[in-house]
């Protein structure tokens, strides 16, 4: 028999039992569509997480002083804090640094009106801090180089709402910090909610580093010390190399026993990508279980079809059909069911992300590879689970099949 004849016979068989064909293919439709949807959800989640991390600052590198070793504690040596000179040295020696800022951490009780005071975190930073941290200025502006020695302040959105009622009402208001009057020139927020896990708290005021250093009585060394140093490189791919160089430069400028941590978000990006990929694999495994269940359904339906068509098989063998042709006939039917269901499921699975893209502004990622895999797996399921009934049909004895009632 020609293959076209085998396909024609299979189609005629489906026409005589449309409901059985549709119900059998339905499981494959659900399995393949869920596979594509799962991949789409996984890619969307991965893209969302990576975008969040990059919004914090994928190009950011920050350095902090942890302390000295046990040796320094025993010898009674003083702390070896980071300095502005360290930052300038890094900028001179490391290529690709596009922005840098020291960060001085201060604390003060701020009068907020009505005879009330609020414990507030005050950070002394340079103008480049907003670039490194990728802050969003909501009202007003961030201080620039001209404000280096001015008593200007930029406050968080949360602080502005709590104290002044709104972001716009906070602008141009006065705050007393270390008994000095500061003018609020802007309101900002982090582009991504860090839930207090960054150096910026809900009630945070940013002031120029030079003014903060001069206002603070905590620094008695006379040097331009900093709690942290922040850097931003022009290329995110250059972050690991720059981090290693910064570590080497900072360490060379201080005592060997002093410990400094140079950190970036590259590792966090890699971990987030691995977690997203892992969750996608787990969801894919669940979708594959659905396909396997659908394959079992195809096998059961085909076995039932073999039992109802025993006389047909006997007649075909009697007029010259070989075991190979009989086997190929039933195997073709199983594959057609699974492939048809797979194609319909693929169309439905791709319809969801395309619809979201068409009707909304969200650019949901679409994986063409997942569609190819879905159709391939559907075909494979048809071959695997169609082999048993096809083999059973081919092994029937023609004489007994003709006598079967």
Q: DSSP readout, 165-204? A: SSHHHHTT-EEEETTEEEEEEEEEEESS--TT-SS--SSE
Rounded to an integer, what distance in angstroms lies between the CA atom of residue 173 and that of residue 182?
A: 8
Range with the poorest average pLDDT among 139-148, 223-232, 361-370: 361-370
The dihedrals phi and psi of 246, each to the nearest 5 degrees, come to: -60, -45
Query: How many other CB atoms are there within 10 angstroms of residue 321's CB atom?
Result: 17
pLDDT score, position 1? 52
How large is the average pLDDT for residues 390-402?
Answer: 72
Q: Is the pLDDT of residue 220 over 50?
A: no
Say how many CA atoms lie within 13 Å of 166 toward its Cβ.
Answer: 2
Please calculate the CA angle 314-319-325 and round it to the nearest 5 degrees: 70
Rounded to an integer, what distance in angstroms lies between the CA atom of residue 53 and that of residue 293?
A: 39
Between residues 400 and 298, which one has the greater pLDDT?
298
- CA-nearest of 185, 210, 237 to 101 is 210
The dihedrals phi and psi of 236, each to the nearest 5 degrees, come to: -60, -30
Residue 231 tokens, joined: 């850097």
SS3 for 259? Answer: strand
pLDDT score, position 352? 83
Rounded to an integer, what distance in angstroms lies between the CA atom of residue 354 and that of residue 298?
A: 30
Are residues 86 and 246 in contact, defined by beta-carbon separation less than 8 angstroms?
no
pLDDT score, position 57? 64
Rounded to an integer, what distance in angstroms lies between the CA atom of residue 267 and that of residue 45?
A: 18
Range with the poorest average pLDDT among 87-91, 203-207, 255-259, 380-384: 380-384
Ranked by mean pLDDT, which of 84-93, 290-299, 358-367 comes out on top? Answer: 84-93
Between residues 51 and 87, which one has the greater pLDDT?
87
pLDDT score, position 73? 44
How large is the average pLDDT for residues 357-381?
Answer: 81
197 confidence band (pLDDT: 50, 70, 90): low
pLDDT score, position 401? 59
Between residues 101 and 298, which one has the greater pLDDT?
101
Rounded to an integer, what distance in angstroms lies between the CA atom of residue 176 and that of residue 211?
A: 13
Residue with tokens 């900028």: 91
The pLDDT tens digits of the residues spanning 314-347 come to 777 777 777 787 788 778 888 888 888 888 888 8
Range with the poorest average pLDDT among 196-200, 238-242, 317-321: 196-200
Residue with tokens 């293919």: 25
Q: Is the pLDDT of residue 388 over 60?
A: yes
- Per the confidence metrics, is the pTM higher than 0.75? no
Range with the poorest average pLDDT among 5-9, 18-22, 139-143, 360-364: 5-9
Q: Is the pLDDT of residue 218 over 60?
A: no
The dihedrals phi and psi of 204, each to the nearest 5 degrees, come to: -130, 140
The dihedrals phi and psi of 155, each to the nearest 5 degrees, come to: -115, 165
pLDDT score, position 148? 83
Q: Is the pLDDT of residue 89 over 90?
A: yes
Are residues 280 and 46 in contact, defined by beta-carbon separation less than 8 angstroms?
yes
194 confidence band (pLDDT: 50, 70, 90): low
How large is the average pLDDT for residues 82-102?
Answer: 92
pLDDT score, position 75? 46
pLDDT score, position 133? 86
How large is the average pLDDT for residues 262-280?
Answer: 77
Q: What percent of the chain is modeled with pLDDT above 70?
A: 85
- Cβ burial 134-172 (10 Å sphere, 16+ → b, else e): bbeebbbebbeeebeebbbbbbbbebbeebbeebeebbe
The pLDDT tens digits of the residues spanning 23-41 come to 778 878 888 888 888 888 8
Contacts of 108 (CB under 8 A, 6+ apart): 119, 120, 122, 177, 178
- CA-nearest of 208, 218, 165, 202 to 185 is 208
């Amino acid at each position: 028999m020609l293959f076209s004849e085998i396909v024609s016979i299979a189609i005629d068989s489906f026409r005589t039992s449309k409901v059985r064909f549709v119900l059998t293919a339905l499981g494959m439709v659900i399995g393949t569509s869920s596979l594509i949807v799962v991949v789409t959800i996984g890619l969307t989640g991965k893209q969302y997480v990576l975008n969040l991390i990059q919004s914090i600052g994928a190009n950011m590198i920050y350095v902090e002083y942890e302390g000295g070793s046990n040796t320094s504690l025993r010898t009674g040596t003083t702390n070896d804090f980071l300095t502005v000179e360290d930052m300038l040295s890094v900028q001179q020696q490391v290529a690709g640094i596009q922005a840098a800022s020291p960060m001085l951490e201060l604390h003060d009780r701020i009068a907020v009106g009505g005879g009330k005071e609020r414990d507030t975190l005050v950070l002394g930073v340079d103008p480049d801090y907003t670039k490194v941290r990728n802050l969003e200025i909501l009202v007003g502006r961030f201080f620039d180089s001209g404000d280096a020695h001015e008593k200007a302040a930029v406050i968080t959105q949360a602080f502005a709402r709590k104290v002044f009622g709104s972001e716009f009402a906070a602008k141009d208001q006065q705050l007393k910090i270390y008994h000095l009057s500061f003018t609020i020139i802007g309101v900002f927020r982090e582009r991504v909610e860090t839930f207090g896990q960054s150096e910026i708290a809900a009630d945070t005021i940013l002031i120029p580093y030079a003014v903060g250093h001069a206002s603070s009585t905590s620094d008695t060394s006379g040097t331009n010390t900093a709690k942290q140093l922040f850097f931003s490189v022009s290329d995110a791919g250059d972050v690991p190399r720059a981090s290693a160089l910064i570590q080497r430069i900072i360490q060379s400028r201080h005592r060997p026993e002093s410990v400094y941590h140079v950190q970036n978000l590259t590792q966090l990006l890699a971990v987030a990508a691995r977690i997203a990929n892992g969750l996608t694999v787990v969801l894919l495994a669940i979708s594959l279980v659905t396909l396997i269940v659908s394959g079992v359904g195809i096998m059961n339906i085909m076995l039932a079809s073999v039992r109802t068509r025993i006389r047909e098989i006997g007649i075909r063998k009697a007029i010259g059909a070989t075991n190979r042709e009989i086997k190929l006939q039933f195997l073709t039917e199983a594959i057609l069911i699974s492939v048809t269901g797979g194609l319909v499921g693929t169309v439905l699975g791709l319809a969801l992300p395309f619809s979201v893209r068409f009707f909304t502004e969200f650019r949901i990622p679409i994986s063409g590879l997942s569609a190819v895999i879905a159709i391939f797996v559907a075909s494979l399921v048809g071959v695997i689970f169609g082999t048993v009934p096809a083999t059973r049909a081919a092994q029937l004895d023609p004489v007994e099949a003709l006598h079967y009632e």
